[in-house]
């Protein structure tokens, strides 16, 4: 071969390299067949690599996928939201059109995302995606009639305002005098010739200062009418739960959120930091929880088609699956110093932080992190999985490996270690640890059935029913909590399906339980618990799951599994008349409030004090940035904040959804939102939902 030929071949190769077009995806939403309910979506892969030694990774909310006949590739599911395209034949770099049957797309934010192309032996590279969605229009769910407001109209509403003659500027400093015989959080603010704050306690004095700040902002530099304000919270617990496991919220953004929540006199921030998809708080003695479990990445594809996760969790609910990417919400954790800063910052605004790591289900990040520890160090001290376990199960989020083995002594060494870390962090911050929230929800059927160590434990105790293991686990966790003088908290399942002795022990050690599930007749659980003396924080999905979309428009972000929640739905929440909390259904149709409580237990006078609060939940599967956090919460959450402070509105006993008292009250509330809160959000520079 002469030099001329070599030069020609080299130039040809160079031209081919320069002219090669990058792989690109066009994803097209399919229409739903009204008779079958089936939808066929199309994934067009432009410029795929030649050969079959490549795969296309992506993340997609759970849906069964059936390829149509003639497909040149399969779409395979690896757990959670991780899928991949596996070519079956060489297309020689030509366009590949894959048509597949799946569930209808509820909203556009649930379309496949995070596409990465990996050719065997090479680093994955991101792939551009073009989405072709069906036409979708915004949805308008309610109207309101603007009301006349004063500067004293705010969220939550002041209980009593007695106006006096004259006006005055809002003072900067008002002396505080503490009084006895008033309920916690009570204050009286006198704005007249001699301004003064009278308060029952430090909380009351702080809430008075928040009211002053809101007055100043509402007045916009103008004078306000002289008045005497008397105010207090009806419920002692008024909270927001933020899931930082599925997608992470950085410390600085948490501090911003605390400021906004304090503006509404919220006094609990529940941080859901340990779940299947991530562990987000640094723990002494357990570095793998964050060095491994706080990161996601492309897994290793094994020859048999399975995957391994060598240095990070497989990516899910995340656009950028690169453990070195510091911008993605999939990666990150709070150092011990970060967490202490959060605790102190919240405490300075009279807000307690409730830490949660979910066990024994929803524990994949912890399980995999401790397996990484064992794999890299040989240390099984805190191992959470029996390698001989053949149990078959599928969790609510599509995992088959996310449940802690409750028979292993190392499991309780791990739990004790986490408790000790949390106790130490709160002590260093000088902030109370009200309770360690252990989750306890959604343990899938089939868990532990194939575990030799679980079977051995059961045999040693003379039992054959796997359900006994929940009691065993609960009692072991209570041993840890009691020995340290710490209360536990949990989702409603933590106090369900227990033997009587275990149940009574839980009651003695339970700071509170979050009642969340209202479908399939489960809406009675909250009052059943309260009537039996269990402290309940009402967190029900029908009114307080703020990860649900504002409405059914496909352009709205959020979930829909429990319906939709807008400002009117959250405002309709009735802590003491829970069954009447949904006045209009998800399509805006009035509900039958008169029949809503038929056959369901009423809240008794003895049970009423055990309804200790309300909490809104923001699960983060569909969140991708802090703008999403604020958009989902504001102003949707304001109805919940109103009801936590004023739990018994005058219209609570009405049975007409559009009762004039309700309509007038909501009109005033939403006018306050539009005229006083929208400008506040504008000044903060945050994202929010505009009605």
Q: What is the Cα–Cα distance from 635 to 566, expressed in whole angstroms?
A: 9
pLDDT greater than 80 at residue 117: yes
Q: What is the Cα–Cα distance from 480 to 471, expressed in whole angstroms?
A: 14
> Final residue of a domain: which of 214, 231, 248?
231
Beta strand 39-46 with 96-102: parallel, antiparallel or unpaired?
A: antiparallel
Q: Domain check: are 519 and 557 in the same one?
A: yes
Residue 393 lies in a domain: yes
CATH number, domain of 279, equals: 3.20.20.80
Q: Domain check: are 299 and 348 in the same one?
A: yes
Cis-peptide, bond into residue 306, ω within 30° of zero: no
What is the pLDDT at residue 146? 98
pLDDT greater than 70 at residue 95: yes
pLDDT (tens digit, 9 = 90+) per residue, 498-528? 999 999 999 999 999 999 998 878 899 999 9
pLDDT greater than 50 at residue 444: yes
Q: Domain check: are 401 and 499 in the same one?
A: yes
Residue 61 lies in a domain: no
User: Mean of the pLDDT values across residues 65-89?
Assistant: 96
CB atoms within 10 A of CB 21: 8
User: Mean of the pLDDT values across residues 546-558?
Assistant: 96
Q: Domain check: are 214 and 310 in the same one?
A: no
Q: What is the Cα–Cα distance from 541 to 553, expressed in whole angstroms?
A: 19
Residue 23 lies in a domain: no
Domains contained in the chain, number: 2
DSSP code of residue 677: I
CATH number, domain of 217, equals: 3.30.379.10
Positions annotated as catalytic residues are 442
CB atoms within 10 A of CB 658: 11
> Final residue of a domain: which of 231, 263, 286?
231
Model-wide pTM > 0.75: yes
Cis-peptide, bond into residue 360, ω within 30° of zero: yes
pLDDT greater than 70 at residue 653: yes
Residue 648 lies in a domain: yes
Q: Domain check: are 503 and 574 in the same one?
A: yes
Q: Domain check: are 264 and 382 in the same one?
A: yes
Residue 241 burial class via C-beta count within 10 angstroms: exposed 0-12, middle 13-18, buried 19 and up: buried
**Residue 497's closest CA among 534, 462, 535, 471?**
471
Q: Domain check: are 249 and 381 in the same one?
A: yes
Here the tokens at position 411 are 């499991």
Residue 479 lies in a domain: yes
**Residue 558's closest CA among 548, 567, 568, 566?**
548
How far from the centroid of its chain's Cα atoms is residue 123's Cα?
A: 32
Q: What is the Cα–Cα distance from 628 to 27, expressed in whole angstroms?
A: 23
Residue 6 lies in a domain: no
**Residue 616's closest CA among 338, 290, 242, 251?**
242
Q: How confident is the model at residue 2 (pLDDT cuts 50, 70, 90)?
A: low
Are 689 and 635 contacting, i.e. CB atoms less than 8 angstroms apart?
A: yes
User: Mean of the pLDDT values across residues 572-600?
Assistant: 95
What is the pLDDT at residue 327? 86
Q: How confident is the model at residue 10 (pLDDT cuts 50, 70, 90)?
A: very low
Q: Domain check: are 392 and 425 in the same one?
A: yes
User: Residue for token digits 């039992």?
Assistant: 463
CB atoms within 10 A of CB 561: 11
Q: How confident is the model at residue 15 (pLDDT cuts 50, 70, 90)?
A: very low
> Final residue of a domain: which of 215, 231, 247?
231
Would you call 518 helix, strand, or coil by DSSP? coil
Residue 308 lies in a domain: yes
pLDDT (tens digit, 9 = 90+) per residue, 29-67? 999 988 888 899 999 999 999 999 999 999 999 899 999
Give backbone dihedrals phi and psi of 548, rounded to 5 degrees, phi first.
-70, 140
Q: Domain check: are 211 and 247 in the same one?
A: no
- The three-state DSSP-derived secondary structure of 283-307 is CCCCCHHHHCCCCEECCEECCCCCE
Element (H, E) at 528: helix 525-531
What is the pLDDT at residue 322? 83
Q: Domain check: are 248 and 223 in the same one?
A: no
pLDDT greater than 90 at residue 283: yes
User: Mean of the pLDDT values across residues 90-117?
Assistant: 94
Q: Domain check: are 210 and 293 in the same one?
A: no
Range(s) of the domain holding residue 273:
237-658
Q: Domain check: are 172 and 268 in the same one?
A: no
pLDDT greater than 60 at residue 13: no
pLDDT greater than 80 at residue 546: yes
Residue 138 lies in a domain: no
Average pLDDT, the chain: 95
């Amino acid at each position: 071969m002469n030099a001329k030929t070599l030069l020609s071949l080299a130039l040809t190769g160079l031209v081919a390299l320069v002219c090669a077009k990058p792989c690109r995806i066009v994803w097209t939403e399919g229409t739903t067949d009204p008779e079958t309910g089936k939808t066929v979506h199309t994934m067009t892969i432009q410029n795929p690599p030649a050969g079959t030694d490549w795969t296309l990774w992506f993340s997609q909310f759970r849906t069964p996928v059936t390829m149509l006949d003639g497909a040149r590739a399969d779409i395979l599911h690896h757990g959670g939201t991780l899928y991949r395209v596996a070519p079956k034949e060489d297309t020689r770099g030509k366009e590949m059109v894959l048509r597949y049957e799946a569930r209808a797309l509820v909203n556009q934010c649930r379309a496949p995302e995070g596409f990465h192309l990996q050719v065997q032996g090479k680093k994955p590279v991101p792939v551009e995606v073009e989405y072709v969605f069906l036409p979708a229009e915004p949805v308008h769910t309610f109207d309101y009639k603007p009301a006349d407001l004063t500067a004293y109209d705010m969220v939550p509403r002041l209980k009593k305002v007695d106006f006096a003659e004259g006006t005055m500027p809002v003072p900067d400093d008002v002396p505080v005098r503490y009084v006895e015989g008033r309920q916690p959080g009570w204050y009286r603010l006198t704005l007249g010739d001699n301004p003064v704050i009278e308060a029952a306690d430090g909380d009351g004095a702080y809430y008075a200062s928040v009211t002053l700040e809101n007055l100043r902002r509402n007045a916009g530099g103008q004078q306000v009418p002289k008045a005497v304000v008397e105010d207090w919270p009806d419920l002692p617990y008024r909270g927001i739960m933020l899931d930082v496991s599925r997608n992470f919220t950085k410390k600085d953004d948490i501090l911003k959120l605390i400021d906004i929540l304090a503006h509404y006199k919220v006094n609990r921030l529940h941080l859901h930091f340990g779940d299947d998809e991530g562990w987000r708080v640094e723990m002494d003695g357990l570095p793998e929880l964050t060095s491994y479990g706080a990161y996601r990445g492309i897994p290793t594809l094994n020859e048999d088609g399975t995957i391994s996760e060598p240095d990070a969790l497989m990516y899910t609910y995340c656009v950028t699956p690169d453990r070195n990417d510091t911008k993605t919400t999939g990666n990150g954790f709070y150092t011990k110093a970060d967490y202490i800063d959060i605790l102190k910052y919240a405490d300075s605004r009279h807000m307690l932080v409730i830490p949660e790591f979910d066990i024994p289900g929803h524990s994949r990040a912890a399980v995999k992190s401790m397996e990484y520890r064992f794999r890299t160090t040989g240390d099984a001290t805190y191992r959470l999985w029996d390698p001989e376990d053949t149990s078959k199960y599928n969790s609510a989020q599509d995992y088959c490996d996310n449940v802690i083995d409750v028979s292993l002594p190392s499991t309780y060494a791990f739990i004790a270690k986490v408790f000790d870390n949390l106790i130490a962090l709160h002590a260093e911050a000088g902030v109370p640890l009200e309770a360690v929230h252990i989750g306890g929800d959604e343990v899938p059927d089939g868990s532990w059935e194939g575990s030799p160590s679980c079977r051995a434990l059961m045999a040693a105790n003379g039992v054959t029913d796997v359900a006994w293991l929940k009691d065993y686990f609960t009692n072991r966790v209570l041993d840890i909590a009691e020995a340290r003088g710490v209360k536990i908290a949990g989702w409603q399942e933590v106090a369900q399906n227990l033997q009587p002795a275990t149940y009574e022990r839980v009651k003695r050690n339970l700071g509170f339980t979050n009642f969340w599930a209202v479908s399939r007749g489960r809406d009675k659980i909250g009052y059943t618990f309260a009537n039996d003396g269990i402290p309940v924080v009402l967190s029900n999905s029908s009114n307080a799951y703020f990860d649900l979309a504002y409405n059914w428009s496909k352009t709205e972000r959020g979930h829909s599994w429990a319906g939709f929640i807008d400002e009117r739905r959250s405002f309709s929440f009735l802590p003491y008349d829970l069954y009447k909390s949904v006045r209009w259904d998800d399509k805006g149709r009035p509900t039958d409030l008169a029949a809503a409580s038929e056959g369901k237990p009423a809240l008794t006078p003895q049970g009423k004090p055990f309804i200790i609060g309300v909490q809104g939940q923001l699960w983060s599967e569909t969140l991708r940035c802090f703008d999403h956090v604020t958009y989902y919460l504001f102003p949707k959450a304001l109805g919940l904040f109103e009801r936590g402070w004023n739990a018994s509105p005058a219209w609570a006993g009405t049975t007409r959804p559009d009762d004039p008292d309700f309509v007038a009250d909501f009109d005033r509330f939403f006018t306050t939102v539009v005229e006083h809160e929208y400008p506040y959000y504008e000044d903060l520079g945050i994202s929010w939902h505009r009605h």
